[in-house]
């Protein structure tokens, strides 16, 4: 005996009921900590751009950021290099003292007093 086929409206109802679950796929990927390829690419390009702007060599940038995609870091470094050459921008070297955590250096001015924005 053949099985009865569900009516067309029942199929639509089931698909409509499953729609909210499909909308949560991005959130599910975040919970499972699955890498988002576009986010990995954007972060690598940002790292490369920042390295070039700070005057770091490409090799130094790779060694300081081993988890970043080398292709994305190179693309960001190259883009920033082209931009800096086109606009005749100079390198902005890092002001952090080696071995000091970045948060401690950012809280004080060179004179050792807290910045005006921190004094509330």
pLDDT(65) > 70? yes
41 versus 23: the higher-pLDDT residue is 41
Domain contains 111? no
pTM: 0.60
Number of domains in the chain: 1
Q: What percent of the chain is modeled with pLDDT above 70?
A: 75
Using one digit for the tens of pLDDT, what is the confidence trace for 37-48?
999 999 999 999
Domain contains 6? no
Using one digit for the tens of pLDDT, what is the confidence trace for 98-109?
777 766 545 555
Domain contains 104? no
Domain contains 9? no
d(C-alpha 115, C-alpha 78), whole Å = 34
d(C-alpha 95, C-alpha 106), whole Å = 10
d(C-alpha 34, C-alpha 40), whole Å = 11
Domain contains 102? no
Contact (Cβ atoms closer than 8 angstroms) between residue 62 and residue 70: yes
Domain contains 64? yes
Residue range of the domain that includes 84: 35-92
């Amino acid at each position: 005996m053949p099985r009865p086929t569900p009516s067309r409206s029942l199929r639509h109802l089931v698909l409509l009921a499953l729609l909210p679950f499909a909308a949560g796929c991005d959130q599910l990927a975040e919970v499972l900590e699955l890498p988002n390829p576009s986010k990995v690419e954007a972060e690598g390009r940002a790292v490369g751009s920042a390295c070039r702007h700070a005057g770091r060599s490409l090799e130094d940038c790779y060694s300081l950021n081993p988890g970043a995609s080398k292709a994305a870091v190179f693309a960001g470094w190259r883009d920033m290099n082209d931009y800096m050459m086109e606009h005749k921008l100079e390198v902005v070297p890092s002001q952090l003292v080696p071995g000091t955590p970045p948060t401690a250096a950012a809280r004080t001015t060179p004179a050792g007093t807290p910045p005006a924005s921190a004094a509330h």
